[in-house]
Structure 1
Amino acid sequence: MGVITIHFLFNLTLLTILFFAFFLLSKRVGSIHIHKRTGLLYFVLSLILCSLFSYPIQSEYVLDLRIIPFLLGGLYLRLSPILGFLVIFFRAFHGIDLGFFIAIAFYSVFSFFIWRISPWFLKLTSTTRILFSTGITLLLSVGILLTIALNTVSADQLLDIIIAYVVVPPLGVALLSSLIEIREKNQQLQQQLIIEEKLAAVEQMGAAISHEIRNPLTTAIGFIDLLDQVYLDNNRRTKYLSIIKNELDSAEGIIQDYLTFSKPVVESVEELDIQEELTHILKLLHPLANYHSVKVSTDFSTYGTIQGDKSKFHQCFINIMRNSIESMSYGGALLIKTVATQNKIIISIQDTGTGLNKEQIQRIGEPHYSTKGPQGTGLSMMVSYSILRAMRARIEVQSEIGKGTTFQFHFKINKT
């Protein structure tokens, strides 16, 4: 294996490690299409790495793997004009020579071409995208190879260049595009799990909420009957109409909360007021708590904010509190408490349910496990734990059989 090939393989290894650092190890990043600025930063850093680990031959040609980040960033994120400019800019540091002007001509034309075909490319299937990006890289590598071969290069060096350019760039594009597709599929699967679990929660809460809505509607109907059948003076009629309005407003509020929770998941990071969000969640879960004869109490001694996605935050704590409520089949108590330190906010959820043993505590958050018993699917806790890890929350669970369970969630406080 020649020097240039080894040089290219080492550069490709660095690009792969950088990709893992940006998109696979960091769960907060999610889809590269959602976090386009993060994707741009990755491809810019990749171009810098390729420029630093370039291999000059003769005086006018510099060999590197710049085509990999340029092509992937252009096809997946439609960043080819920016990346093309940066490629030319970094090439200038190696000298204003014939190779520099060839780079200007090539990347100016090819940047526009990649920018135009990117929307079409994204409509292809995952496998087709990998094959297309790998194939076009191979064609470009052969074209660059022919350009170099037309110039005087020694036979030994030419063989090394052929192996390096025909094998390494297509291999790199195939590898990184496959990793991108895997990351996208995992993100879509996670989103689908959250939506399915939300639909399951909506279905389970339906009976309790329908009971809660029936009470104000029954009251309103009764007063309407009185207004229709009995002669009333104006003062009493006004009083009855006010009661009817209040009861209908109460029913509308319950329905509105229910519909808000049923909305599709929207991924956006924003500032969340802990007390406000927990109060909203408890208001939504109030019918379910009444249905199971569970007394809910709060101790909000902390006022603070964290960074996160509001919809997913609601989804997470509704799942956890719902499991706690349903674990208390014959009534019980649920305490929601907040405590703050200098750097973090702790949310504590304590129930008086059946409790968990050590093995069950260790398995919380795994697929096909549920705190409600062997019949559960465990999707709710798995989704909740996934959301909490994405928000970089630390989770502590304390439980004892027959005495209930306490969950503690440590969030980094948002200092503003």
Structure 2
Amino acid sequence: MRFSPILGFLVIFFRAFHGIDVGFFIAVAFYSVFSFFIWYISPWFLKLTSNIRILFSTGITLLISIGILFTLALNIVSPDQLLDMFIAYVVVPPLGVAMLSYVIEVREKIQQLQQQLIIEEKLAAVEQMGAAISHEIRNPLTTAIGFIELLDQGSLDKDKRTKYLSIIKDELDSAESIIQDYLTFSKPIIESTEELDIQKELTHIIKLLQPLANYHSVKVTTDFSSNGMIQGDQSKFHQCFINIIKSSIESMLQGGTLVIKTTATQSKIIIAIQDKETVLSNEQINRLGEPHYSTKGPTGTGLNMMVAYSILRAMRGTIEVQSEIGKGTISQFHFKLHKTKVQKR
């Protein structure tokens, strides 16, 4: 209805091809007035309910059809022609408009339901995220509050007071880090774009995480048979794969081997991370003095992994995960290849 003046102009334009006669000037007068009238009442029309809009459109079409039929009937003598004109102008146009109006209204309802469903899904995700963030933040804050209460004791010596203050600072830093991770997950911002050497960046990340791998009895092996450059934010790339590799190491409670390899095609480079957890026998578990349980999932758990995948999407990367018995979990991260780097042998 908002474009009715344009549609009225098009009707007049195409009517001109049939000749500039009395009918043409009647069409100019009628469609000029009618199109601007429809445009004027469009705000009111859009506020009506769906059924009323269908009835209104059909009623207007019926009135116009009766007017056209009455005008043409003045020049028609044969009753047979009058019946045909009645069906053509009074029955067909209102029926067609009613059907089109119904289809349009149904389509609008479907779009509204889809939008409402998307909003509800987003609200549900926000609620779940809020619950997770609340749980993550509560732990360090509870610890900090406990040590603050201990500081109220006047009998504390200087060393204990200093130690407690250090613990409080660490816990508050942990809470701040969780909040920062949440902000990164909500809207990862790629602050700068530069060329990243995949082999160089992964080697740096592995060196940072080597102490953690040693602590968990995880051997990290690499196979950088293919190397290349991608475009992205170096700090975000580091944060992404530190979270992913750290999660893989920590999930192997019984130790094992973590294999990181790269392969390249003509258009993309693939980083594959495969974890092979060591399976201990009952005798070995008993020798350790306590049972070990694995809580690892194929895509990792926790806010850190959600942040990692959020950064991955922001860098236009994709992920494929495969889990096979005896082979562990293989996660493949696909990035658009910027250019191939020739390796020196």
TM-score normalised by structure 1 residue count: 0.43
What is the CA distance between 1:148 and its match in structure 2?
Answer: 1.6
290, 299, 321: which one aligns with 1:350: 321
Q: Label 1:249 to 1:209 Cα distance change in 2 as closer, same or farther (>3 A).
A: closer
Q: Label 1:159 to 1:405 Cα distance change in 2 as closer, same or farther (>3 A).
A: farther
Task: Indicate the larger mover: 132-141 or 205-214.
Answer: 205-214
* 8 Å CA contact 2:76, 2:82 repeated in 1: no
298, 301, 304: which one aligns with 1:333: 298
* 8 Å CA contact 1:134, 1:174 repeated in 2: yes
Which residue is 2:62 aligned to?
138
Q: Aligned pair 1:202/2:129, yes or no?
A: no
Which residue is 2:179 aligned to?
252
Separation in structure 2 between the aligned mates of residue 128 and residue 298 of structure 1, nearest angstrom: 64
What is the CA distance between 1:87 and its match in structure 2?
Answer: 0.9
* 8 Å CA contact 1:334, 1:351 repeated in 2: no
What is the CA distance between 1:138 and its match in structure 2?
Answer: 0.5
Task: Indicate the larger mover: 217-226 or 127-136.
Answer: 217-226
What is the CA distance between 1:334 and its match in structure 2?
Answer: 1.7
Which residue identity lines up with residue 123 of structure 1 in the other structure?
Answer: K
CA deviations 1:172-221 (Å, max 9, x no partner) are 11111111111111112222222233333334444433232234535665
Q: Label 1:97 to 1:154 Cα distance change in 2 as closer, same or farther (>3 A).
A: farther
**Percent same amino acid at aligned positions?**
62
Which residue identity lines up with residue 108 of structure 2 in the other structure?
Answer: E
Separation in structure 2 between the aligned mates of residue 104 and residue 206 of structure 1, nearest angstrom: 61
Q: Label 1:156 to 1:202 Cα distance change in 2 as closer, same or farther (>3 A).
A: same
Which residue is 2:274 aligned to?
none
- Structure-to-structure mapping, 1:46-195, within 5 angstroms: 74=1, 78-152=2-76, 154-195=78-119
* 8 Å CA contact 1:350, 1:407 repeated in 2: yes
Q: Aligned with 1:334: secondary structure?
A: coil
* 8 Å CA contact 1:220, 1:248 repeated in 2: no
Structure 1 residue runs of 4+, over 6 Å off?
Answer: 222-232, 236-242, 258-261, 297-304, 335-338, 400-408
- Structure-to-structure mapping, 1:359-370, within 5 angstroms: none
What is the CA distance between 1:348 and its match in structure 2?
Answer: 4.2
CA deviations 1:328-374 (Å, max 9, x no partner) are x9422228999xxxxxx99444254xxxxxxxxxxxxxxxxxxxxxx
What is the CA distance between 1:122 and its match in structure 2?
Answer: 1.1
Which residue identity lines up with residue 75 of structure 2 in the other structure?
Answer: N
CA deviations 1:156-186 (Å, max 9, x no partner) are 3332111111111111111111111111111
Which residue identity lines up with residue 180 of structure 2 in the other structure?
Answer: G
Larger radius of gyration: 2
What is the CA distance between 1:109 and its match in structure 2?
Answer: 0.7
Separation in structure 2 between the aligned mates of residue 243 and residue 123 of structure 1, nearest angstrom: 57
* 8 Å CA contact 2:73, 2:82 repeated in 1: yes
* 8 Å CA contact 1:219, 1:244 repeated in 2: yes
* 8 Å CA contact 1:216, 1:250 repeated in 2: no
> Gapped runs of 5+ residues in structure 1?
1-73, 262-273, 305-328, 339-344, 353-399, 409-416
Number of aligned residue pairs: give it. Answer: 232
Q: Label 1:201 to 1:213 Cα distance change in 2 as closer, same or farther (>3 A).
A: same
Which residue identity lines up with residue 350 of structure 1 in the other structure?
Answer: V
Which residue is 2:291 aligned to?
none
Q: Aligned with 2:75: secondary structure?
A: coil
Q: Aligned with 2:121: secondary structure?
A: helix
What is the CA distance between 1:251 and its match in structure 2?
Answer: 3.6
Q: Aligned with 1:187: secondary structure?
A: helix
- Computed over aligned residues only, the root mean square deviation of the Cα atoms, in angstroms, reads 5.0
Separation in structure 1 between the aligned mates of residue 322 and residue 107 of structure 2, nearest angstrom: 37
Separation in structure 1 between the aligned mates of residue 37 and residue 93 of structure 2, nearest angstrom: 19
Which residue is 2:141 aligned to?
217
Separation in structure 2 between the aligned mates of residue 214 and residue 83 of structure 1, nearest angstrom: 62
Separation in structure 1 between the aligned mates of residue 102 and residue 329 of structure 2, nearest angstrom: 42
TM-score normalised by structure 2 residue count: 0.51
Q: Label 1:227 to 1:182 Cα distance change in 2 as closer, same or farther (>3 A).
A: same
Separation in structure 1 between the aligned mates of residue 111 and residue 37 of structure 2, nearest angstrom: 29
* 8 Å CA contact 1:209, 1:254 repeated in 2: no
CA deviations 1:223-282 (Å, max 9, x no partner) are 8679888869xxx99999985774453243345467779xxxxxxxxxxxx989xx89x9
Which residue is 1:355 aligned to?
none
* 8 Å CA contact 2:50, 2:105 repeated in 1: yes
Which residue is 1:307 aligned to?
none
Separation in structure 2 between the aligned mates of residue 346 and residue 208 of structure 1, nearest angstrom: 25
